[in-house]
Every structure is written in structure tokens, then in C-alpha cells.
Chain A
Amino acid sequence: MLTLDKARVEFGGLTAVNDLNMEISKGQIHSLIGPNGAGKTTVFNTISRFVNLTSGNIKFNNENILNYKPNEVIRLGITRSFQNTELFANMTVMDNLLVGLHPLTKKNIFSTMLHLPSVRRIEQENRKKTIETLELLQIRHLEDEVVKNLPFGYQKMVDIGRAMMVNPELLLLDEPVAGMNNVETKQISELLLRLKHDFGFTIFLIEHDMSMVMEISDFVTVVNFGKKISEGVPAMVRNDPAVIEAYLGGEDVSHA
């Protein structure tokens, strides 16, 4: 469904992504792993169009993504979360998620100005949808909290929730469990599996938590210095000597 074809990104003299070929298949959880600075987030940024490719191509359902602007990518059915969360810090949890519904919301400035029933009805529907998502994430009780007052773990949830609002075909999650404790990590793992099974989401995941990656992924791609060094099902990647070498300098990946 998503194809990276010899994708290459250079910043000045530095090659962040080096002729990367990748294929993400529908209905899978596909993880992208690699040491810090391997260029993982840059891959995400090229897909969400914040970073331009130096050369190569990215296609989504045979549609050339490079023709789209960052705010248009969501219309293709791709949404994302951010590594350090890019939330609307001074807005409530509810409002953050409502912004996530933006592309699906019909808007007319004049009927809004007059507060017509149609506007009120759409708002009601959107709130209902938001509450469903909050319940799925088990953070319904935080609805009216201002995001910046929340602990980091909850903020991550809100970030994921916002990306889920439009029922995307492809969800890009950048380290969703970084900074979370074991209980929360487990909760997110379960959520991701549920999104895959019950909602048919395809999930493209960047994650450092190896046990989680190995447990939930259908497919894993490993990059180092922007170059793909291995890919395959988790069991295969886990035992690939090249991965063990590059990733941990010899340590066993499964214990990371």
C-alpha cells in the first residue's frame, strides 16, 4: 500500500535516508527500527511531506505522495503522531481530538456565524465520535483537561487519539511508548493490535522498545545510517547477525 522507492534525503552533506526501498502491506503492523540517528523520523517526515526527498519516490495506493502538501496527506488516509508529541498544549483533550476531525467536518463561515442548527448538529456528531475514541483509549475522564497539565504518558495517548480520528488507512506512530511504564506500554500494545484486528488499520511504527516491537509487529525493517540493513518477520530479524552487530554492537537484541 505504501511504497518507498529509492527514497533519499540529504541535509547539506549528511545523508539521512540512503536509497531506501520499502513496502508496507495493508492490514499489517510494520515496524521501523534502528539506532538513534538512523533516519527513522526523517522517513516519517518525508511521508507526511514536511521533508522533501532529494531523489526517489514514495507512492501510496499508486498515488504519488510527493504531489501533496503536508495538510493534504491526511486526505489520502495517512495520519501520524510525533516523537515528542506536537499537541495543542493549551487546548483541552476534547478540542485536540476535534481538530483531528477537521478534514471530515463540513464548514461554512456564514452558517457558523449565525450558529445555525446544521452547525450545531455537526458539532454534536463530532463530539460523539470524539467520546467514542476517548473511550477506546480509556481516557474519557480526561475530556476537559488542558493537555499541558497531563502527564507525558497521557499526552502520548492524546497524540495517538488525534491521529485516529479520521479512521486513517495508514497510521504513522513515532515512538508511541517512549517514556511510558510497563503497564502503559502493555495498554498501547493491546490498543494497536485492536486497531489492526477490529478496525483494519495499517500501522507503521517507529519504536525503541524491542520487546514490544517483536511482540506485535508483522514485519520489521531495520535501518542504520539511513540504509536498510535487514527486514523480515520479527523472528528472522531478531537473529540477523547484521542487525545485532549494527544495533547493539554485539548484544542480543531480544534483551534490549
Chain B
Amino acid sequence: MEALLQITFGGLIFGSIYALAAIGIVMIYKTTDVVNFAHGEMAMITTFISFTFLQMVGLSFFVSFLLALIFAAIFGMTVYQAIIKRVQNAPPLNQIVVTLGLFLAFNGIAGLIWGYTPHGYPSALRGDSFQVGSVFMSPHQLFILGITLALMILFFILFKYTKIGLAMRATQQDMQTSSLMGIKVSQVFNLTWAAGAILGGVAGILTAPITYLEPSMMIDILIMGFAAAVFGGFVNLPGAVIGGLIVGVYSNWVSYYIGSELSVAFVFLLIVLVLYVKPTGLFGAKYVKKV
């Protein structure tokens, strides 16, 4: 029982990271209609950038963190402007292939610059684990939880109560009408990609201390993030968050009780089952094709 609690808690921590990744994927899909398979690799590059500020330039954790996120925003916008914009109205296959191409290119670039040997990555909060009830927690875990919660609240407020948020929601509803109403749709797209890249970057920086820092660190996170997004039918943000937490807890259970390396395979099984029952995702909309 104590083990179960501990494993579940650990799963929630991982789940927060998956949720962050999933929110980025869902936001980008909802607004710009593109599923970004390079999301994880963009996050990985951002993490390496923060590492460069931290280790090579010797800045403090939080300064490197902020600088890396600024980089992520610019990175996201650049990718959108230079490449994604041109396939925004292309068939899904073309979009998927382009983002997979970016996946490979970013992976290669990171390998070329930073090499394939794993680096250790320090966490923001060091210190010993402590016990709450029967569950052990480390400062880094709490940091992950805190950052995730803070970001979600921030985005919620941004979405609900600011002009930019309103523009984003309007664009998601109907791009053409929005642009007729005077919303600068292209700016909304830029901002979405910036925000998506930031969320991914945070997920990367939070992951690095747990795994290691290396070019393929985000592949598993990406597939977990996709699994979470699938729960929300790719369009439902709260659904993606809940999906992230479910996937996190579930995969941690699998790791503990069945085998640590098998979690990806079991998550895949879960996605297949979910989609078998409901082909548009658990919290997704019903798909209707007009004749």
C-alpha cells in the first residue's frame, strides 16, 4: 500500500510534465491545425540552450531558465514563420512529414553541437528528500508540481481574461471571421507557437534532471504527451491535462509492477484501447463528415 502511494505520487509528477508537453501540442493543433511531431525535439534544444547558459556561461539557474524560455519563444515563432506557415493548409500527411523532418533535423543539430554523451543536469532545488505521511518527496518533485500548477493558472488567466486570450479563442473557433473582425490572425499563430515552445521547453528543463540531458531525451516524453493529447481528443485542454496525469500514474505503475522499460509499450496499448472505444479521444468531439 505504501509502495502504491509512493508510485502514484511519482506518477503524478511525471504526469505533470506530460501534461505540460500535451498542452503545448494541443494549443498548437487547436489554433494552427498542425500536429507538431517536432515538439519534443524543440523542447530538447531549449533545454540544451539553458544548459549552455548554466554550465558554459555560468549564469544562475533562474536566469538561464528565463533566457532559455525567451529563446524558446523566438524559436517557436521562427519555426512557424519559416516553415509551418507554408503547410498550414496542406493535407495532414504533408504536415506530419514536415514536422518529422524537423524532428530529425533538430535531433541531428543537437547531436552535432552538444554530442550524444548524456550530461547530468542540475535541478533548481537541491536538498534531501523528506517524508509526508508515508510518501517521500524530493524538492525537485515539488518544484515540478509548483511550476506546472503556476503555468496552468497563468495560461488559464491569459486565456480567459486577456485580449490575447480572447483573440486566440476566437481564432480557434473560426479563423476567417476572426480576421474579418480585425483580429491579427498571423500574430495569434505566432504567439501560439511561442507559447507552445515555451511550455515544451519547461517540460524539457524539468525532465533533464530526472533523466539525463541528451538529444533523444524527449522522444518518450513526446509519445507520452501525445497519449495525453489523445485523451483530450487533441482539442480539449483540460482533457489533455487530465490525460497527462492519467498517463503519468499509469506508466509509473507499469514501470514498478511490470518493468521499467515497458511503460512506453503499455501506454501505447492504452492509447489503442482508448481510441478503439472512442476514435476521437476520450474527451474529444464527435467527428461528423458532411456529405
Partners in one complex: yes
Binary flags per residue of B249-291, CB closer than 8 Å to A gives 1, else 0: 0000000000000000000000000000000000000000001
A-B contact pairs, 6 of them (CB 8 A): A41-B291, A45-B291, A50-B291, A51-B291, A82-B291, A86-B291
CA distance A86 to B291 in the complex (A): 9
The interface residues of chain B, by DSSP majority, are classed as loop
Size category of the binding interface on chain A = under 10
| B291 proximity list for chain A (CB < 8 A) | 41, 45, 50-51, 82, 86
CA distance A45 to B291 in the complex (A): 8
**Could you tell me the distance in whole angstroms from the C-beta of A57 to the nearest C-beta in chain B?**
21
Binary flags per residue of A35-65, CB closer than 8 Å to B gives 1, else 0: 0000001000100001100000000000000
CA distance A50 to B291 in the complex (A): 8
CA distance A173 to B182 in the complex (A): 42
**Could you tell me the distance in whole angstroms from the C-beta of A79 to the nearest C-beta in chain B?**
15
CA distance A66 to B291 in the complex (A): 18
CA distance A45 to B288 in the complex (A): 14
| A41 proximity list for chain B (CB < 8 A) | 291
Nearest B residue to A45 by beta-carbon distance?
B291
Nearest A residue to B288 by beta-carbon distance?
A11
**Could you tell me the distance in whole angstroms from the C-beta of B170 to the nearest C-beta in chain A?**
23
Contact residues, A50-107 vs B (CB, 8 A)? 50-51, 82, 86
4 closest A-B pairs by CB: A50-B291, A45-B291, A82-B291, A41-B291
| A50 proximity list for chain B (CB < 8 A) | 291
CA distance A41 to B291 in the complex (A): 9
**Could you tell me the distance in whole angstroms from the C-beta of B273 to the nearest C-beta in chain A?**
25
Contact residues, A101-121 vs B (CB, 8 A)? none
CA distance A45 to B290 in the complex (A): 10
Nearest B residue to A70 by beta-carbon distance?
B291
| A82 proximity list for chain B (CB < 8 A) | 291
**Could you tell me the distance in whole angstroms from the C-beta of A114 to the nearest C-beta in chain B?**
31
Nearest A residue to B289 by beta-carbon distance?
A50
CA distance A51 to B291 in the complex (A): 9
**Could you tell me the distance in whole angstroms from the C-beta of A162 to the nearest C-beta in chain B?**
16
CA distance A207 to B291 in the complex (A): 17
CA distance A41 to B290 in the complex (A): 11
CA distance A109 to B237 in the complex (A): 45
Nearest B residue to A41 by beta-carbon distance?
B291
